[in-house]
């Protein structure tokens, strides 16, 4: 768990407006810092299964928030991933593209054509 000063520092860095404390960007940033700290803890105490369970819950929560942010505000998602240096798996990206293709096939074809032209 983060102490108050480090949490406030993260909120100040990632807030989207003046009184923001709970936007997805802030929540993801806080979860990322907690995940880093738990990971360091588990490197030393690898038999601490309660903390490992907590880490898995935090990773799942962050994944859900990242998916939500990607769906609602893709530019903000891309900026946040770059700032936090989060690795997004290719498998997850492919799954999102497949879902997009099923919902809007004509737009998905245009996106695929643009990707081919870029390469």
Is residue 104 located within the same domain as residue 83?
A: no
Separation of alpha carbons 114 and 83, rounded Å: 26
Q: What angle do CA 18, 10, 3 make, to 5 degrees?
A: 120
Q: Which regions of the chain are under pLDDT 50?
A: none
| pLDDT attached to residue 106 | 60
**Do 80 and 114 lie in a common domain?**
no
pLDDT for res 1 = 79
For the chain, how far is it from start to end, CA to CA, in angstroms? 44
The confidence score (pLDDT) of residue 103 equals 59
Domains identified in the chain, total number? 2
80 and 39 share a domain?
yes
pLDDT digit string, tens, across residues 74-95 = 999 999 999 999 988 766 666 6
Q: Look at residue 52 in the predicted model and tell me its pLDDT.
A: 96
**Where residue 12 sits, what CATH number does that domain have?**
1.10.287.10
Coil/strand/helix, residue 92: helix
């Amino acid at each position: 768990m983060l102490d108050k000063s480090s949490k406030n520092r993260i909120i100040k860095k990632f807030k989207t407006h003046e009184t923001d404390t709970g936007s997805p960007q802030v929540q993801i940033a806080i979860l990322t810092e907690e995940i880093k700290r738990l990971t360091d803890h588990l490197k030393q105490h690898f038999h601490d299964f309660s903390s490992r369970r907590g880490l898995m819950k935090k990773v799942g929560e962050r994944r859900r928030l990242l998916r939500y942010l990607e769906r609602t505000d893709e530019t903000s998602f891309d900026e946040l991933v770059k700032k936090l240096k989060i690795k997004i798996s290719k498998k997850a990206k492919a799954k999102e593209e497949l879902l997009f293709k099923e919902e809007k096939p004509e737009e998905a074809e245009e996106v695929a054509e643009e990707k081919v032209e870029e390469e």
